[in-house]
């Protein structure tokens, strides 16, 4: 992996100039080796503190976000009288889920909330391009959402479902200035309770939550099996809970 060095290699003057020419448009200002240095830049840029390219203070917004090469700093020029559109931190979308339908072969639609930042480059997702799309499968009508990311990276429904399970949502903050999105956690270890359920769900299309209990028992995770059983008894709609959701619940330390 290439690690671009901090600070010196970032041409903030050029980025700021381009951003001024495209008021309201987010531009990547650089990739930092550590979360700390990117977060620091995201706090300093809006105040033009140690970063004169973004002067005067208050004319730029900034955020830091995880990037394949480290942590990216994104900025946009906002000075002026007309308000710029808010950048939401989260986006709620309807996506196809081929795996969690009640019947093993059919399509389902699930509503998930994900970060409003591209998982590849950290740029804003096309939250303002969201459009409903209807389609028919087996005589049943479904509605899903489509959108286009300004960065050009494509969000597949499978990737969005995966992200909804494993990428934590950013905490709501008072504004985008200085916002830092959290790291993407590792998927569960294959020999962990969440890992064995996820592996079983990958092998068995349409696996339901109840079947996860047997899988946990079979792998010697009796205590986790009991916790899942208790949670399902409490949940009123457990018929709609998939084994994948159970894996996610276990992975994030599920509390019944």
Among 18, 37, 49, 120, binds Zn ion (CB under 5 A): 120
Residue 44, CB-side half-sphere exposure with 13 Å CA sphere: 15
Closest-CA residue to 230 (of 255, 247, 207): 255
Query: Does 31 participate in binding Zn ion (rule CB under 5 A)?
Result: no
Spatial contact of 206 and 215, defined as CB atoms under 8 Å apart: no
Choose one: 39-47, 120-128, 165-173, 178-186; the region binding Zn ion (CB under 5 A): 120-128
Q: Candidates 75-83, 148-156, 192-200, 215-223 — which segment interacts with Zn ion by CB under 5 A?
A: 148-156
Part of the chain binding Zn ion (CB under 5 A), chosen from 13-21, 62-70, 122-130, 225-233: 122-130
Q: Could you tell me the smallest distance in angstroms from the CB atom of residue 66 to Zn ion?
A: 12
Told to check if 159 binds Zn ion by CB under 5 A, we report no
Do strands 60-67 and 179-180 pair parallel, antiparallel, or not at all (unpaired)? parallel
Query: From the list 123, 178, 193, 206, which residue makes contact with Zn ion (rule: CB under 5 A)?
Result: 123
| SS3 letters across 74-89 | EEEECCCCCCCCCCCC
Query: Does residue 65 touch Zn ion according to CB under 5 A?
Result: no
- Give, in order, the Cα–Cα distances in Å from 105 to each of 94, 108, 157, 199, 206: 19, 10, 17, 19, 8
Q: What is the DSSP letter of 124?
A: B
Report the distance separating Cα 77 and Cα 24, nearest Å.
6
Query: Binding string to Zn ion for residues 99 to 118, with x set by CB under 5 A, is what?
Result: -------------------x
| Segment (H or E) for 159 | helix 157-166
Distance (Å, whole) CA 227 – CA 253: 11
The window from 5-13, 70-78, 145-153, 165-173 that contacts Zn ion (CB under 5 A) reads: 145-153
Does 151 interact with Zn ion (rule: CB under 5 A)? yes
Shortest CB 88 distance to Zn ion, Å: 16
Task: Work out whether 124 is an interface residue with Zn ion (CB under 5 A).
Answer: no
- Give the whole-angstrom CA distance, residue 12 versus residue 106: 50
Asked whether position 121 contacts Zn ion by CB under 5 A, the answer is yes
Q: How far is the CB of 71 from Zn ion (least distance, A)?
A: 15
Determine which residue in the list 153, 210, 238, 240 makes contact with Zn ion, applying CB under 5 A: 153
Enumerate binding residues for Zn ion (CB under 5 A): 118, 120-121, 123, 151, 153
């Amino acid at each position: 992996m290439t690690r671009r060095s901090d600070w010196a290699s970032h041409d903030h003057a050029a980025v700021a100039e381009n951003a001024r020419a495209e008021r309201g448009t987010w531009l990547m200002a650089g990739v930092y080796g550590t979360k700390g240095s990117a977060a620091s830049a995201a706090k300093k840029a809006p105040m033009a503190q140690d970063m004169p390219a973004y002067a005067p203070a208050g004319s730029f917004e900034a955020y830091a976000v995880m990037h394949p090469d480290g942590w990216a700093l994104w900025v946009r020029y906002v000075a002026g009288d007309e308000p710029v559109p808010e950048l939401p931190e989260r986006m709620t979308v309807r996506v196809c889920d081929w795996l969690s339908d009640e019947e093993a072969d059919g399509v389902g639609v699930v509503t998930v909330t994900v970060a409003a930042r591209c998982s590849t480059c950290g740029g804003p997702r096309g939250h303002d391009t969201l459009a409903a799309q209807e389609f028919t499968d087996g005589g049943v009508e479904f509605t899903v959402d489509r959108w286009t990311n300004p960065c050009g990276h494509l969000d597949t429904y499978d990737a969005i479902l995966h992200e909804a399970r494993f990428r934590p949502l950013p905490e709501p903050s008072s504004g985008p200035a200085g916002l830092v999105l959290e790291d993407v956690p590792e998927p569960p270890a294959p020999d962990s309770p969440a890992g064995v359920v996820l592996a079983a769900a990958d092998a068995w299309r349409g696996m339901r939550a109840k079947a996860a209990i047997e899988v946990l028992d079979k792998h010697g995770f009796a205590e986790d099996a009991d916790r899942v059983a208790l949670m399902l008894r409490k949940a009123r709609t457990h018929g709609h809970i998939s084994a994948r959701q159970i894996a996610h619940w276990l992975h994030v330390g599920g509390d019944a």
